[in-house]
Chain A
Amino acid sequence: MDLRPTADQRALQAGTRELLTRCFGRDRLREAVEAPALDRALWRELGAAGLFALRLPEADGGVGLGLPDAVLVFEEAGRALLPGPLVAGELLAGVVPGVATGERVAGLCDAGRGGEVLWEHPGDCDELILLEDGTDAHGRAFWNAPDWPVLEPVRSIDPLTPLARVTSYPRRAPRSLDVPRLRREAALLTAALQLGSAARTVEMAVEHARRREQFGVRIGSFQAVKHLCAEMLIRVEMARSAVYAASLTAKSLPVVVAKVLADEAAVRNARDCLQVHGGMGFTWEADVHLHLKRAWLRVEQWQSGGKAEEALAEALLTGHDGE
């Protein structure tokens, strides 16, 4: 029993960080803020590096790794604020041709039992898989050409993630996919992105607090600032423990725990990071708001806070602790 990444997994994480620093560094991030359309060349580069084919068997041209490895890679993508339908890419590689290599871009939307359906990067997707709850409660999946659904534009709060509201869609091409598994893994990978973002904003806050001087001393020596930073780290460590454990069991309840705690860590850490940065944190030039806005977006994806807490409460009565 060891919940820490193995040497191979640490190498995978370091390699991913190196790749993302090279192909999506800070300058590229700020360019993307101004022009948020998906960079197809970057997408193909990520595909060539195996980012989407991580869990495809080697016989199918994939890397042959597991969910825990994918979670570590997604943690890095969250740190780097890498934009694009990443979760869809990871889950639909091997399902939709061309997605594994990054040649084609797929979207994945969850209509649930009706209600609002949000689609990220609608203008950039070549395909769209739409999930909805079926009569058998196992869910159904439809393969849509991207021009099939009826959309309403949404001016996305996250400058790096264009959004549209799907108002209706045809149920024309049913696909036999394991919808509950897709939902579970989508929530877990989203939690991993949140975890990476939460960890990055702690670093940003600490870097700033160690450099910035006020009243003649570095603000990191103030207990009030220290305690903000310490609470940020605690949120990361709680979320990381939950996310890593959930990646090993891949069961429903541990994934809910992971999403709840990673959402909280990403949102509250970005807010605290903004606070530590003071007035600079409130500007467009600082990256803090990009983390906060993406974190808010991900909170709404795949698992809502209220539903998640209800599921966790229900589990107390049934005695299923998810282990």
Chain B
Amino acid sequence: MDLAYAPEEEEFRARLREWLAKTLPDLPARPDPLDWPGRRAYDLGWQRRLYDAGYGAVHWDASPTVRLIFLEETERAGAPYVGANFVGLLHAGPTIAAEGTDEQRARWLPPVVRGDEVWCQGFSEPEAGSDLAALRTRAVRDGDEYVVTGQKIWTSHAEIADWCELLVRTDPEAPRHRGISWLAMPMDAPGITVRPLRTLAGPAEFAEVFLDGVRVPVANRVGAEHDGWRVTMVTLSFERGTAFVGEVVACRRTLGELARAARANGRWDDPVLRRRLGRLNAEFTALWRLIQRNVGAARDAGGVPDAGGSVFKLRYSQVRQELYDAAAEVLGPSGALDADQRWTADRLSSLSYTIAAGTSQIQRDIIAERILGLPKGR
């Protein structure tokens, strides 16, 4: 056990820190959350600057420890969130890097790394959310193309995406985990209709995507035909493993801000609130250490995080909600009910964390069955 980073890792950290200090001050202000074209341009612009500085592919090209340092330092410095590049950099990119052919890597990875193209995720369906293997969107082979028909939902960034990592059923006769394939679908193909869904947090973060006879080249399939479930598990393990590192850093900073705000407005005198914030401090400190432990395991598993990611995701999604509930208490009744107050939007969006990327119930099943070895059942 040790907490010391290797010399080359510390060099990476120092170089990145210096570059961030130099780069961030002249960054333009972030666009309004409702301005989708503006957000796309802003997020891609930031990715381009990372690319030009040599940090473009760090999400899948670097060791898990370097990835951890990158996410920690960018968040500490207040750099822009990965934003519209989320799926491309953290899901589709790592999946194509791990499972794609040389041609596929050459076609899709450079535009993601350069900040030229945006990806969205076409996994969930109205009848297949947490039970992803129940998906029904069909892809029927027609020569060297698949003809895709069906519907996706909760598709983040669909309005501004160039590509969609799409799960389709290629063999309706096979057992449900076996007949699935993973496709890269161009979002400008005829037959695609995107309908934004307004979230309870206000803006439309995601959309419904209707697919009516969309033609996708067979060459766009990543992994073998009908082997999409295994490819998807690779994607999901990335999602549950390293994707939240920056957020934990941000939550720890927010917790410090909450404490200072509480002292400023007098609520700090309430020992119940104080102890609640103290307890959250323990939780976030331990979550950070859990990430560091998981990174060690990820390194041994060739970069793919293991089921420890589910342990992290479950606790983190709960604690994040507790953090913003505590924030509401710090703000007081009129502040907590004022939708324009700081932390209110985060409180609302935190509600998605115990649902998205597998509900907490699904995560508990995964932990019970895959880690603890309890029998499958209801």
Contact = CB atoms under 8 A, between A and B. Distances in A.
Contacts of B2: 1-2, 248
Interface in A238-253: 238-242, 244-245, 247-249
Given A206-B374, A312-B281, A316-B255, A230 B296 contact: no
Given A3-B293, A234-B311, A202 B281 contact: no
A1 B9 CA distance: 9
6 contacts: A1-B292, A68-B1, A221-B375, A223-B365, A261-B286, A312-B282
Given A210-B374, A226-B377, 16 more contacts: A1-B6, A4-B1, A220-B375, A226-B374, A230-B363, A230-B364, A231-B364, A237-B290, A241-B290, A257-B282, A260-B282, A306-B275, A311-B278, A312-B279, A315-B278, A316-B256
B361 interface: yes
Top 4 A-B residue pairs of the complex, sorted by shortest distance between their CB atoms: A221-B377, A313-B278, A312-B278, A309-B278
A241 B293 contact: yes
Interface in B243-279: 252, 255-256, 258-260, 263, 271, 274-279
A238 B286 contact: yes
Interface of A: 1-6, 9, 68, 202, 206, 209-210, 217-218, 220-223, 225-227, 229-231, 233-234, 237-242, 244-245, 247-249, 254, 256-257, 260-261, 306, 308-317, 319, 321-322
A225 B374 CA distance: 10
A268 to B, nearest CB: 13
B282 A256 contact: yes
B71 interface: no
B285 A1 contact: no
* Best-buried of A6, A225, A230 by chain B (most CB within 10 Å): A230
Given A233-B372, A234-B367, A244-B293, A227 B282 contact: no
Contacts of A218: 375, 377
Contacts of A202: 372
Given A234-B315, A312-B279, A317-B259, A229 B374 contact: yes
B375 A242 contact: no
- The A contact surface, by secondary structure, is helix
Contacts of A6: 1
Contacts of B275: 306, 309-310, 313
Contacts, number: 171
A195 B216 CA distance: 53
A206 to B, nearest CB: 5
B283 interface: yes
B1 A233 contact: no
Contacts of B263: 317
A239 B311 CA distance: 12
B140 interface: no
A1 B4 contact: yes
A316 B260 CA distance: 8
B281 A315 contact: yes
Given A245-B292, A316-B255, A317-B263, A230 B367 contact: yes
B368 A310 contact: no
A248 B281 contact: no
A317 B296 CA distance: 32
B3 interface: yes
Contacts of B271: 310
A203 to B, nearest CB: 9
A321 B285 contact: yes
Nearest to B257: A316
A210 B375 CA distance: 7
A313 B274 contact: yes
B289 A227 contact: no
A211 B134 CA distance: 31
Nearest to B378: A223
Contacts of A237: 290, 293, 308, 311
B365 A254 contact: no
A284 B24 CA distance: 64
Given A311-B278, A316-B255, A321-B285, A233 B292 contact: no
B329 interface: no
B371 interface: yes
Interface in B292-330: 292-293, 295-297, 308, 311, 314-315
Nearest to A205: B372
B260 A317 contact: yes
A244 B281 CA distance: 17
A225 B376 CA distance: 12
B338 interface: no
B264 to A, nearest CB: 11
A215 to B, nearest CB: 11
A242 B285 contact: yes
A35 B374 CA distance: 37
Contacts of A4: 1, 293, 296-297
A196 B39 CA distance: 49
A40 B283 CA distance: 40
